[in-house]
Structure 1
Amino acid sequence: MKFLVSNDDGYFSPGIAALASTLAKYGEVVVVAPERDRSGASNSLTLDRPLSVKQAASGYYYVNGTPTDCVHVAVTGFLDFKPDMVFSGINHGPNMGDDTLYSGTVAAATEAFLLGIPAVAVSLAGKHQHFASACHAVDLLMANTLKTPFTHPVLLNVNVPDVPVAQLQEIEVTRLGRRHHAEPVIAGKNPRGDTVYWVGPVGPEQDAGAGTDFHAIRHNRISVTPLMIDLTASEQMGFIRTWLNQ
């Protein structure tokens, strides 16, 4: 198999090295990742300047753009092959619930999905950085992939508890939970005396019951959420027709 690997933490991230090393057991791996941390970049494309691709001493390629740029450039022009699968991660921290809308990790996988390639975003849900546990989850996914290959594009959002492998429970297929509103921005002063604002921390979980990604992680289960891109609010279409024709 041939894999494209990207992320949003940058090509120098230990998480991407762990992911690339794990996938190398299953085939050819090419890493194309941002030149710096682009966490929170979401699905943005760079359209106001050209992008360059350079190679680091590690052999990884890096792009002066977003995670979406990396996958788009790689698949539509830089690589001389179409990857069988695209993996994004291993992210330093979770990407669950509403956070998936902002996540550059999920965005890189989403771009691959939109380009017709099965894609997996992998995040380590904590700060202790048990990357071996995330790699174990990737091995489990690959075992199933080799047994039953995908016949059409899928987009999987995988979150792994940040605990030792021995403490991991079973894999659970989940839905996205929901967070509460974010905490207020944090105001401060820059050296010139101007008021500046830092985006505040995420708010508490609002929907984290059984079946959600939050609930799975809390119980040391590997969360796998299949995602879709259709943003149409189908249940509101009738109401909007009525509203427009009143």
Structure 2
Amino acid sequence: MKLTVLGCSGSIPGPDSPASGYLVEAGDTRIVLDLGNGTLGMLQRFADPFLLDALLLSHLHPDHCADVGALTVMRRYHPAPPYEPTQRRLPVLAPPEAPDRLAALYAPSAAERAETDLSDVYEFRELPVAPVRIGSFEVRAIPMTHVCPTWGFRVTAGDKVLAYTGDTGPCAEVAELARDADVLLSEASWADFPEAPAGLHLSGRQAAETAREAGARRLLLTHLQPWTEGRAVLDEARACFEPAELVQAGHTYTV
């Protein structure tokens, strides 16, 4: 399994990275986990956006889904797609309100929002509780703790497991997500501090404690906010768990 980081900046795009987005490949199957601000540009370096097998959205904050608007433009209006776009809608596994919310993102005006329909481009599916098969992958969506409905994804190909937290605060479910994973791709929005808001994000220390207690084999830290000191996040994570590293946009990691 290959993991390519399309963007790893938390909350907003940063000077060195788009927001959240991850291309995951195994065999001939390509899926994308989240498609935040700026990630569509990076995706085009590594894969044809027309040939994805599915897009999975952990939640509908802009730093995780804003480039769906740009992808809609590409899939509708590209002059020479590899097939007729209406012949192959992209499966999008997302929170239940995704069709309406993403239509509002794309709509040219508030007056036309109700008439905007993305079903010619996407096949929307509500995030399931049961695992789903997508080509070479089995994907299980697990609800996380955040300020809106949010899921983490446990992606299995053969005997390898990638666990992606999306956005979450500390909770029992994130440990379930990470259980015995080969790679835990975990948000670590900031260095630990006593006044951190409850149920919002993980610190580097909390991500590392989750990896250690869940028996994960490797920790990749992502979603650092641009104003966060990365060295501090990494140091506190490594004090609890090894191997741990900060991901970088445009880099590929083997699971």
- Provide the TM-score with structure 2 as the length reference: 0.28
Give the structure with higher Rg (CA). Answer: 1
Superposition TM-score, scaled by structure 1 size: 0.29
Q: Which structure has more helix as a fraction of its residues?
A: 1
